[in-house]
């Protein structure tokens, strides 16, 4: 029996790879919903190939264009953020893959959980912003969150069969990104094209910049805290340039379990979509002879200050991780448009998280206000930087 999948963010890096996975395993999965924010042409192409029941284009100005292109196909077309939130509740949908970028993934994820749908989570910001609330909802609705990020998928796989065994530490591995060997002086002049040149992974612009600044790893640490119920002090980041060991778990007896494989996002996507079944694939296999040396390094948090700021937000808790995420979204966008320099981004993020009013137990409305205020604060600092 096919599992019905809704893909939120089908035109992005994770979404397009998820469709490749589904195309290779059409007997296992069916595409019920596709959504995109702005890329109407690719959404149309995907809709013609996979013919989902429903597609949603977030940019309402492109609704007529998408509708006209799909008028001869059995595909219903909707537009806007409210429609994205609603389609996750559809009856044929068994699992929602949230591959939207940033804060925008929060509301549809909440709607999916409340509708009793399992969530394959590629939108780490959901748990960064509202981890405590989301995990409580998941427990109440008795649904599952299956992590899609390679690091969290690795930890999840290491914990299968370990119920009741105490976790001592979680190690999240990081490639080090394109700036691993840069000096602080060199980073002052790093441009966005340099930052987008990731050595191991093919990702979208936002995630690539986050990887270059190590903010991606900081957000993953906050996400891991909620996904696996560990304390901030139990999470450690280690640089592993080969990206073969995707992450590790250390147990109370001192033993370590690691999950390994080629750096290919289709593997964690397939694992999440198919769980608890491991679905056979013909994806490339790992060969030890291709990786004769696996190396590890400590992170230089003076060079990658975003990581230190992320752990500060993690320890402070409340609405501070939400402020961190919002400020980061603003500065990454500014960096892409050459409004701030690479090494100015953590300065602005630090100002925002130290200025925003602290709320220890924020509700959804509090988080929405924090997100708005943090964006506004970051943008004001970006404007001051330019002048």
Give me the domains of the chain, ranges plus CATH numbers.
3-147 (3.40.50.720)
Look at residue 384 and tell me whether its pLDDT is greater than 90: no
Which pLDDT score, from 0 to 100, does residue 299 have?
95
Q: How confident is the model at residue 35 (pLDDT cuts 50, 70, 90)?
A: very high
Tell me which of 311 and 385 has the higher pLDDT. 311
Nearest one of 331, 332, 336 to 385, comparing CA atoms: 331
The residue-averaged pLDDT of 50-56 equals: 97
Question: Residue holding tokens 């892409």?
Answer: 336
Q: What is the mean pLDDT of the chain?
A: 94
- Please say whether the beta carbons of 203 and 13 come within 8 A: yes
Q: Which two tokens stand for residue 13?
A: 């890096």
Which pLDDT score, from 0 to 100, does residue 50 have?
97
Q: How confident is the model at residue 325 (pLDDT cuts 50, 70, 90)?
A: very high
Which pLDDT score, from 0 to 100, does residue 376 have?
97
Which pLDDT score, from 0 to 100, does residue 190 have?
87
Q: How confident is the model at residue 387 (pLDDT cuts 50, 70, 90)?
A: low
* Sheet with 245-251: strands ordered across: 235-239, 167-174, 245-251, 256-260
What is the percent of the chain with per-residue pLDDT over 90, rounded to a whole number? 88
- CA torsion 205-37-310-107 (nearest 10°) is -170
Which pLDDT score, from 0 to 100, does residue 200 have?
62
Give dist(CA 238, CA 258) in Å, integer. 13
The residue-averaged pLDDT of 158-180 equals: 95
Which pLDDT score, from 0 to 100, does residue 202 have?
64
Give dist(CA 8, CA 14) in Å, integer. 10
Q: Where are the beta strands (DSSP E) in 83-153?
A: 95-98, 118-121, 145-147
99-122 as b/e: b if 16+ CB within 10 A: bbbbbbbbbbbbbbbebebbbbbb
């Amino acid at each position: 029996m096919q599992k019905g999948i809704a893909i939120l963010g089908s035109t992005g890096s994770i979404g397009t790879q998820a469709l490749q996975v589904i195309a290779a395993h059409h007997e296992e999965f069916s595409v019920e919903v596709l959504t995109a924010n702005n890329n109407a042409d690719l959404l149309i192409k995907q809709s013609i190939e996979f013919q989902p029941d429903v597609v949603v284009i977030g940019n309402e100005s492109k609704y007529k264009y998408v509708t006209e292109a799909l008028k001869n196909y059995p595909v219903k077309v909707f537009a806007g953020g409210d429609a994205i939130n609603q389609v996750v509740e559809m009856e044929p949908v068994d699992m929602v893959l949230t591959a939207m970028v940033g804060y925008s993934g929060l509301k549809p994820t909440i709607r999916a959980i409340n509708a009793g749908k399992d969530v394959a989570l590629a939108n780490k910001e959901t748990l960064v912003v509202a981890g405590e609330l989301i995990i409580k909802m998941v427990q109440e609705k008795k649904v599952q969150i299956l992590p899609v990020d390679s690091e969290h998928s690795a930890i999840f796989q290491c914990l299968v069969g370990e119920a009741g065994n105490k976790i001592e530490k979680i190690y999240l591995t990081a490639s080090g990104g394109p700036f691993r060997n840069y000096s602080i002086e060199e980073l002052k002049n790093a441009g966005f094209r340099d930052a987008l040149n990731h050595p191991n992974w093919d990702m979208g612009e936002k995630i690539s910049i986050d990887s270059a600044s190590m903010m991606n790893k900081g957000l993953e640490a906050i996400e891991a805290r909620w996904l696996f119920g560990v304390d901030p002090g139990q999470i450690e980041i280690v640089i592993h340039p080969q990206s073969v060991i995707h992450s590790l778990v250390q147990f109370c007896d001192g033993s370590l379990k690691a999950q390994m494989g080629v750096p290919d996002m289709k593997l964690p996507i397939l694992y999440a979509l198919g769980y608890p079944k491991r679905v056979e694939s013909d994806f490339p296999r790992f060969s030890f002879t291709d990786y004769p040396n696996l190396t590890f390094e400590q992170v230089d948090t003076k060079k990658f200050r975003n990581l230190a700021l992320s752990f500060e937000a993690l320890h402070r808790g409340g609405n501070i991780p939400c402020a961190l995420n919002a400020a980061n979204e603003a500065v990454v966008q500014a960096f892409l448009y050459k409004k701030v320099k690479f090494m100015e981004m953590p300065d602005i993020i630090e100002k925002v998280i130290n200025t925003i009013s602290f709320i220890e137990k924020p509700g959804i409305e509090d988080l929405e206000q924090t997100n708005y205020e943090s964006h506004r604060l970051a943008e004001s600092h970006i404007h001051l930087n330019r002048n």
